[in-house]
Amino acid sequence: MPFLERGYGILSYNAKFIISGASENDTVVGNPNEIKTYFKNLRYGGYFLRSFNNLQTHISYSQFENNLRGLYLGGFNGSSYAQVVQCKFKVLPQCYAPSGIDVYGMYLNGCSEYTVEDNEFYRDAPDPEGIGLIINNSGYNDNMIYNNKFHKLEYGTIAQQCNRYSNQSGLCFKCNDYYNNINDIAITSDMPGNPNQGINVNQGNENNPAENTFTVESTNGYNINNPFDMIFYYHDEFFDPFFKVIPDPIIGVKPEISNNTTYNKEEDCPSNFSGGGGGIEEMMEDMNEAKVKADSLEQVLSQLVDGGSTENLVDVVQSSTSQNALTTTVELIQESPYLSDSVMKTAIINETALPNSMIRDILVANPSSAKTTEVIGTFAQRVVPMPDSMMSQIMGGLNVLSAKEELTNELSTWKQQYAQSFKTLMRLFQYDTTGLYGFDSLVALVSSDGSLSSMYDLVTLYFGKGMYTEGNLIMNSIPQQFELTSEELNNHNKFVNLSLIMQQVNSDSTKLNSLDSSQIVTLSSIAQDDRCLAGSYSRNLLIMINNIQYDEPIILPGLVTKPAWKPNNNTSYLYNELYYLKVFPNPANTYYIIEYQVNTALLPEEVISLLVINQLGHPVRYFERKYKYDQITVSTKDLPPGIYFVDTVI
């Protein structure tokens, strides 16, 4: 029978499932040497959907073998999470799949706060094929793929679309083992320009490496392929050469050393399901400590970035003219290296005020600019291109870790620790057997988080208990509690409209059959953007009533991954003379620019010295440069009016 005509091992919508070799009351124990649950030769081994309830799905000690697609999970997040641990996913050979259908082991779609740990994704054949794990739109939260094995696959993992927020949070890969794959980790998107596409820019930190190991010979692929903002990947300083802890080949990744660390899988990557660990009170202390640290660092960064007000500094740059350009440049450099992407992009766009030499100086003072595709991509809007020689100086920031990036990395570390503690406590409260913790404790925990996503999770918790009055009070208070962006407000309104439909559905004895045509139209409209929470829920609901045919997106890397900038070989700014010197504007007002060019034969390794001399022949300014072409911005401050000369010494 063709795979597309085969059935589903389990097809679930808004149901609580526990699939395990363990008993129903114990979600994590079992015999790891005995697999008791099999899903074989099916269209989908498991297909689980969730919309607007607080029911969870736990899958452990199960084997998904030679299914067209192994396990699909859609819409699980917050207190309604998915947990997949200690399972095996044997991927179907691609030759058995229908034309145009990519096979995979597991797919997480619009899921967050999940647990994916100690699983094995593989193909039992000589040649690598198929995809192990796909994470699609896990959102802003600090999620983690932890301690899994991926081998004999074309793609071990694919993280696609939005899986991060700014430079502070997002998806991390830790303690996973990749071997004999063509590509280990691929990061993809079909949303150009979205600042949140990609994964957490900090994979590990200076004290705690990411601890993944990679395929030794990736001759036709990459250990990590990241075409978006630069990722800092931290690895152990000391390791047995048998383990490949430093990814290579790579795209868009800067390896960093976690000082004084030694790779030790057993010590550094403990199982979260082997028993032991602290009690609830100790975990709460750890969570609160991490939150205090993260909140403190966020406060420090908010005061440092753009001098404490991005909006004001953007206004300053936008209103800058050629008359006060130098003043603006000095102000921006004084706030460096803490300029935001918004300020740097605004400066690049304001070409009438800020010439290339000033933009170069600003961005060199902010090394993070070289690692941000959105910032570098803004240069395409300038009429006069940034000369390659000066652009190379900016891109030197790829090899520099600025004070801002160090603070952001530290913040990311504490936020990850907080997220893991929060997630663990949530699970303990939901499955507490002592009677000390229950629904009220869970509500208090989620409320204490204070984030926008937690407020929607609270609504879901109350709705799951049929407490619609309490849930609606929380939902209606969100626009007052948070300063929502236009996109967030639009998503909130979608969530409200969906909640009205779900309240009616849950109150009707016929449930999904009670939906009328106008409600289906509303759901279809909301589902158009299934990257937001309400859109994902609406899509899942429409799938279950057979209103839409949905094929989950699989975005493979392009054949050629282009960096945000590469030398354009534009030599129009160069001159035919062996030696060239120019000063402009002339006459000068607040500043002047020295532009020079020296033939490489005349300047193989030496520096060039430039002198500004007054009418008496006395030097008043002195510069040294090592580039054969450059532009230098010079202030006229403290120079009396008069005639000056520029000379060079080679």
Q: What is the Cα–Cα distance from 441 to 610, expressed in whole angstroms?
A: 70
Over range 141-160, report the average pLDDT: 96
> What is the arrangement of strands in the sheet containing 57-60, beginning at the earlier edge strand?
17-19, 57-60, 82-85, 115-117, 144-146, 172-174
Which helix (H) or strand (E) segment holds residue 473: the answer is helix 468-481
Question: pLDDT tens across 287-307, in order?
Answer: 999 999 999 999 999 999 999
> Sorting pLDDT into bands at 50, 70 and 90, what band is 568?
low
Instruction: Tell which residue, 50, 42, 41, 63, has the closest CA to residue 17.
Output: 50
Transcribe 179-198 into DSSP letters.
ES-SEEEEEE-S-TT-TTBB
Asked whether residue 627 carries a pLDDT value surpassing 90, the answer given is no
Give yes or no for residue 559 having a pLDDT over 70: no
Sheet strand arrangement including 608-613: 619-625, 608-613, 645-649
Distance CA(457)–CA(262), nearest Å, equals 40
* Mean pLDDT, residues 178-190: 96
> CATH code for 579-649?
2.60.40
**Is the pLDDT at 56 greater than 80, yes or no?**
yes
pTM metric for this prediction: 0.89
pLDDT tens digit string along 11-55? 999 999 999 864 444 444 445 555 578 999 999 999 999 988 888
- Other CB atoms within 10 A of residue 526 CB: 25
Asked if the peptide bond before residue 385 counts as cis, ω within 30 degrees of 0, the response is: no
| CA-closest candidate to residue 202, choices 393, 345, 409 | 409
Instruction: State the pLDDT at residue 562.
Output: 47
Q: Tokens 């124990």 map to which residue? A: 29
Percent of the chain whose pLDDT exceeds 90 = 72
Q: Could you state, in order of their start, the residue ranges of all structural domains in the chain?
A: 3-277, 309-399, 436-537, 579-649
What is the C-alpha end-to-end distance of the chain, expressed in Å? 80
Q: How far apart are CA 297 and CA 406, in angstroms?
A: 11
Considering only CA atoms, which of 36, 44, 83 is closest in space to residue 62? 36
Average pLDDT of the residues of the chain: 90
C-alpha neighbours within 13 Å on the C-beta side of residue 612? 19
Q: Report the candidate in 36, 56, 44 with the shortest Cα–Cα distance to residue 107.
A: 44
From residue 613, give the alpha-carbon distance in Å to each of 404, 425, 587, 609, 642. Answer: 39, 70, 16, 13, 11
- The type of residue at 287 is M
Question: What is the pLDDT, as a whole number, of residue 573?
Answer: 53
pLDDT above 70 as % of the chain: 92
Which helix (H) or strand (E) element contains residue 298? Answer: helix 280-304
Quote the CA–CA distance of 636 and 280 in Å, as a whole number: 65
What value does the mean pLDDT take over residues 602-631? Answer: 84
